[in-house]
């Protein structure tokens, strides 16, 4: 088994550079050999060990991904096969099975539906209503150190299936979930100056690759 990880950041729109930078930091802090690359085509997504769906504008990302050779189908299949994914803000919306907007109601954007959640977009308001909050996220460790959640036109999870673990709340609203190898956050960990969520994602990718390696022996 090749121990070097290959992590892709969907490089279509949004805070892609920030995700690439913090993922490389997470690899370094975890003492894991690997590379981080932008992926935009189906053949690139076939070759990675884990994928990050960045924050940005979910409708734009979904539309451009559909135009770009229909890569959403490849992403959906690879997630269903077990590829670990981290979706932040818009990325979490893309992973959901249904999405609503506070103003326009149910959206018609194309979603991956790999994460058994329903989300409400812009649940805290628009750009001017952006804020930061201290979050307790137990999966990051037992030292009780808060994580700085950066909320920008953030969604919330209004329904979660039985297989979905709730990993973070803010004011009793669900802002972080995990289902198998899929992690979704309403906030932007890539903008927090804290790489712990990305380190948790790297651990998930590494564990998945090791498990596959054992199965292939």
SS3 state of residue 191: helix
Q: How far is CA 47 from CA 57, 76, 139, in A?
A: 25, 14, 28
Q: Is 103 helix (H, G, I), strand (E, B) or coil?
A: coil
Is residue 188 among the annotated active site residues? yes
Handedness of CA 207, 211, 216, 217 (dihedral sign): positive
| DSSP strand pairing (182-185 vs 85-88) | parallel
- Options 18, 120, 190, 198, the catalytic residue: 190
Q: Is 208 a catalytic residue?
A: no
Handedness of CA 29, 31, 35, 40 (dihedral sign): negative
| Under 8 Å between Cβ of 112 and 94 | yes
Catalytic residue among 89, 120, 198, 208: 89
| 190 noted as active-site residue | yes
Q: Which is catalytic among the residues 120, 188, 198, 208?
A: 188
Cα–Cα distance between 91 and 11 in angstroms, integer?
A: 12
143: tokens are 């030292």
Active site residues: 89, 188, 190
């Amino acid at each position: 088994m090749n121990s070097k990880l290959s992590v892709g950041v969907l490089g279509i729109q949004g805070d892609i550079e920030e995700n690439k930078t913090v993922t490389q930091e997470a690899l370094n802090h975890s003492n894991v050999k690997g590379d981080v690359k932008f992926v935009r085509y189906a053949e690139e997504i076939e070759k990675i060990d884990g994928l990050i769906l960045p924050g940005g504008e979910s409708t734009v990302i979904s539309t451009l991904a559909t135009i770009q050779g229909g890569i959403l189908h490849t992403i959906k299949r690879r997630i269903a096969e077990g590829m670990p994914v981290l979706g932040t803000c818009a990325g979490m919306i893309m992973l959901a099975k249904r999405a609503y907007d506070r103003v326009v109601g149910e959206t018609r954007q194309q979603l991956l539906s790999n994460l058994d959640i329903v989300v409400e977009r812009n649940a805290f308001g628009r750009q001017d209503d952006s804020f930061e909050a201290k979050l307790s996220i137990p999966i990051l460790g037992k030292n009780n150190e808060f994580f700085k959640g950066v909320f920008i036109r953030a969604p919330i999870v209004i329904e979660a299936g039985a297989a979905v673990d709730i990993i973070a709340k803010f004011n009793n609203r669900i802002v972080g979930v995990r289902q198998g190898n899929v992690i979704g956050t309403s906030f932007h960990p890539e903008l927090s100056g804290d790489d712990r969520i990305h380190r948790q994602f790297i651990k998930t990718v590494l564990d998945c690759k090791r498990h596959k390696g054992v199965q292939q022996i």
